[in-house]
C-alpha cells in the first residue's frame, strides 16, 4: 500500500476522480509529512496548514459535485520563496526583506495559474538569498539539507523545493532557474526538474537577472511535470516577454507519435569537450542512461557542441543582476547580506555597459552555435552535474579549486544563456547512496520533446530505486 504522501499528482487526480481519495486526506498526509521532515532538512520557510486544509475542503466539495475547477484541483503544491504568493510574505531568503513592508496581495503568474486550477498551497520553500547561488542556505532561514544525507547540500537555489518533493512533502513545486537552480537540486535530490524555454512560463515581477531567469516544475517524474506545465504555461499579460501558445498540451506530447525516443538523433557529450572533470561514478551512471536511450531506439552519437566555457560572460550578466537587486539597499542592510552575495555584487557593480554588452555578444554567439547544433541533433545529453552532493553550508566543496558555485555546475548555466529547455532526470545512486542526474537539452521551444524523452526514461525504469532512505 503506497502512502498517500508518495502519490504523484497524476495519481492523486485519478483517485479524486474515482472517489477513492479526498483532497483533505491527501493534504493531511502531506502536512504530516512536512512535520516529519522539516526538523531534519529545513525545506520550508512557511507552512500554512490552516489555509491548505481550507483549500482542500473546498476542493473536496467540488470533486463531490463532479465539478473540479482545473487540472490539479486538490493537489498539494509548494512555492519557492522567490515567487509571489497572495497572503504569504515572499522574503527571498533575505533579512533585508521585511514581512511587514508589503501587502503580499498578488500572485506571480505561475502561482495564479495554480490557484485557478484549484491547487492546495501548503507552504513556501527555502532559497539562498535572492536565489544567487547553487546551494541553499541563507542568513534568514539557515541551511537546507539533502534528503539522502542532511549533512550534505540539497543544491540550489531551489533546494527547498527539491527536498520537499523528494521526501513526499507535496508532489508539485515551483522553482526558478537562472543558472541551474531547478536542475542542480533535482540532480542532488533525485527528482525531476525542467527549465523550460525562456518565456514559456510567464514571470512577474521581472527578474533582476533578466532573461537568464526561468520558472520551472519540480516533480517526482516527467508525467507530473507535463501536467504542471499545462497549468503554468498559461498566458499572463504582466510578462511582456512571454511566448505565445505552446501549440498543444504537454501531457499529450508525452505519447505523441507513439511516444518514446525511437529515431531521435541524440548527441552525447560526456564533458562538454573536456572542459569539465566528471566524477567516474557520475560518468558511469550517465553512460547507462545514454545506453538506455539507444536501446529504446534513439540514434546516439558521442559528440560535443563545440563551444568554449562561457562562464565569464555568465558571471558578467549574473553578478550585474545581483548588484542591481541590492542597489536600493542602504549601508545597514548591506551588512545583513550573505558575505558571498556581497562579493559578487561588488564585482557586478564594477562592470561597465560595454562589459555587459560584450557578454551579450558571447551569449548571442552561443545561441547561434546551439541553434546550428540542433539542426543536426534533436537532443543533447550531458551529466546534470559532474559531482554528487557535498557538505551543506558551503558554496563549493571543501578542497575545491573553485571559488564560486559556477565552478562545479559547468553543464547548467550555458543553457540559461541560450534559453533552451533542459531537464535533469535521476539516473542512479553513487556507492555512497547519493543521487546522480542526467541532463536532456532541447532546441528552443522543444520543451515537449524534452519531456517526452524524459518520460520514456522513467517508463523504462531509469529512476527506479532512486528514493531517499527516509522516504
CB atoms within 10 A of CB 129: 28
- Give the model's confidence band at 204: pLDDT under 50 very low, under 70 low, under 90 confident, else very high: very high
What's the pLDDT at 2? 64
Per the CB < 8 A criterion, the answer to whether 439 and 138 are in contact is: no
Q: Give pLDDT, residue 379.
A: 98
Per-residue pLDDT tens over the stretch 31-88: 999 999 999 999 999 999 999 999 999 999 999 999 999 999 999 999 999 999 999 9
pLDDT above 70 for 155: yes
What does the domain layout of the chain look like in residue ranges? Answer: 4-312+350-459
Q: For the structural domain made of 4-312+350-459, what CATH number should be given?
A: 3.90.1300.10
Which letter, b or e, does each residue of 158-167 get, where b requires 16 or more Cβ atoms within 10 Å of its Cβ?
A: bbbbbbbbbb
Q: Which helix (H) or strand (E) holds 150?
A: strand 149-153
Share of the chain above pLDDT 70, in %: 99
Q: What is the mean pLDDT of residues 155-178?
A: 98
Asked whether the beta carbons of 78 and 169 are under 8 A apart, the reply is yes
What is the sign, positive or negative, of the torsion defined by CA atoms of 177, 181, 182, 184? Answer: positive
The alpha helices in 214-310, defined as continuous H runs, are 222-232, 250-253, 280-295
Mean pLDDT over 390-401 rounds to 96
* Integer Cα distance of 113 and 178 in angstroms: 21
pLDDT (0 to 100) of residue 258: 85
Give the cell for residue 341.
552575495
Q: What percent of the chain has pLDDT over 90?
A: 96
Per-residue confidence band for 470, with pLDDT thresholds at 50, 70 and 90: low
Supply the pLDDT for residue 321: 98
pLDDT of 25 > 50? The answer is yes
> Is-catalytic flag, 181?
yes
CA pair distance 108, 213, nearest whole angstrom: 14
**Around Cβ 217, how many Cβ atoms within 10 Å?**
33
Residue 274, pLDDT above cutoff 90: no
pLDDT at 401 over 70: yes
Residue 1: pLDDT above 50?
no
| Catalytic entry in 59, 138, 157, 173 | 157
Specify the pLDDT at position 99.
Answer: 94
What is the per-residue pLDDT across 350-367, written as a single tens digit (0 to 9) for each? 999 999 999 999 999 999
The pLDDT of residue 471? 64
pLDDT tens digit sequence for 141-151 = 999 999 999 99
- Point out the catalytic residue in the list 22, 78, 80, 173: 80
pLDDT at position 101, please? 85
Active site includes 157?
yes
Average pLDDT of the chain to the nearest whole number: 97
Task: Specify whether 275 is catalytic.
Answer: no
- Taking alpha carbons only, the member of 30, 45, 168, 159 closest to residue 468 is 168
| Residue 275 pLDDT exceeds 80 | no
> What angle (nearest 5°) sits at the alpha carbon of residue 333, between those of residues 328 and 339?
105
Say whether pLDDT at 118 is over 80: yes
What's residue 104's pLDDT? 97
Q: Which three cell numbers stand for residue 160?
A: 527547498
Give me the mean pLDDT over the 433-437 stretch.
98
- Classify residue 273 as exposed, middle or buried by CB count within 10 Å of its CB (0-12, 13-18, 19+): middle
Amino acid at each position: 500500500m503506497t502512502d498517500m504522501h508518495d502519490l504523484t499528482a497524476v495519481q492523486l487526480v485519478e483517485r479524486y476522480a474515482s472517489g477513492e481519495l479526498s483532497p483533505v486526506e491527501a493534504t493531511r498526509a502531506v502536512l504530516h509529512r512536512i512535520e516529519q521532515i522539516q526538523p531534519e532538512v529545513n525545506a520550508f520557510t512557511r507552512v500554512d496548514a490552516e489555509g491548505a486544509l481550507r483549500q482542500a475542503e473546498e476542493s473536496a466539495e467540488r470533486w463531490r459535485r463532479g465539478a473540479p475547477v482545473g487540472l490539479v484541483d486538490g493537489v498539494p503544491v509548494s512555492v519557492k520563496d522567490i515567487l509571489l504568493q497572495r497572503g504569504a510574505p515572499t522574503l527571498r531568503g533575505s533579512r533585508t526583506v521585511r514581512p511587514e513592508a508589503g501587502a503580499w496581495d498578488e500572485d506571480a503568474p505561475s502561482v495564479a495559474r495554480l490557484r485557478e486550477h484549484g491547487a492546495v498551497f501548503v507552504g513556501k520553500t527555502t532559497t539562498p538569498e535572492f536565489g544567487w547561488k547553487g546551494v541553499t542556505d541563507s542568513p534568514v532561514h539557515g541551511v537546507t539539507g539533502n534528503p539522502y544525507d542532511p549533512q550534505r547540500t540539497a543544491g540550489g537555489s531551489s533546494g527547498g523545493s527539491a527536498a520537499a518533493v523528494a521526501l513526499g512533502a507535496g508532489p508539485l513545486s515551483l522553482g526558478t532557474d537562472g543558472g541551474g537552480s531547478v536542475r542542480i537540486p533535482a540532480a542532488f535530490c533525485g527528482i525531476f526538474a525542467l527549465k523550460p524555454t525562456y518565456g514559456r512560463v510567464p514571470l512577474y515581477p521581472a527578474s533582476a537577472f533578466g532573461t537568464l531567469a526561468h520558472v520551472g516544475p519540480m516533480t517526482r517524474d516527467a508525467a507530473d511535470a507535463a501536467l504542471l506545465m499545462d497549468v503554468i504555461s498559461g498566458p499572463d499579460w504582466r510578462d511582456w516577454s512571454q511566448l505565445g501558445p505552446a501549440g498543444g498540451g504537454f501531457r499529450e506530447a508525452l505519447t505523441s507519435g507513439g511516444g518514446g525516443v525511437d529515431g531521435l538523433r541524440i548527441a552525447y557529450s560526456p564533458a562538454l569537450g573536456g572542459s569539465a572533470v566528471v566524477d567516474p561514478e557520475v560518468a558511469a551512471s550517465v553512460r547507462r542512461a545514454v545506453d538506455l536511450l539507444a536501446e529504446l531506439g534513439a540514434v546516439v552519437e558521442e559528440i560535443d557542441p563545440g563551444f568554449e566555457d562561457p562562464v565569464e560572460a555568465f558571471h558578467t550578466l549574473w553578478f550585474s543582476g545581483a548588484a542591481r537587486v541590492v542597489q536600493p539597499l542602504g549601508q545597514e542592510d548591506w551588512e545583513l547580506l550573505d558575505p558571498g552575495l556581497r562579493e559578487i555584487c561588488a564585482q557586478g557593480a564594477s562592470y561597465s555597459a560595454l562589459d555587459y554588452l560584450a557578454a551579450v555578444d558571447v551569449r548571442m554567439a552561443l545561441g547561434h552555435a546551439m541553434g546550428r547544433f540542433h539542426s543536426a541533433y534533436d537532443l543533447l545529453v550531458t551529466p546534470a552535474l559532474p559531482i554528487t552532493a557535498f557538505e551543506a553550508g558551503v558554496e563549493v566543496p571543501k578542497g575545491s579549486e573553485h571559488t564560486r558555485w559556477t565552478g562545479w555546475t559547468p553543464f547548467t548555466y550555458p543553457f540559461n544563456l541560450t534559453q533552451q529547455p533542459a531537464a535533469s532526470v535521476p539516473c542512479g545512486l553513487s556507492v555512497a547512496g547519493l543521487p546522480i542526474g542526467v541532463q536532456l537539452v532541447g532546441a528552443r521551444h522543444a520543451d515537449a520533446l524534452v519531456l517526452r524523452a524524459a518520460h520514456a526514461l522513467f517508463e523504462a525504469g531509469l529512476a527506479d530505486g532512486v528514493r531517499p532512505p527516509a522516504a
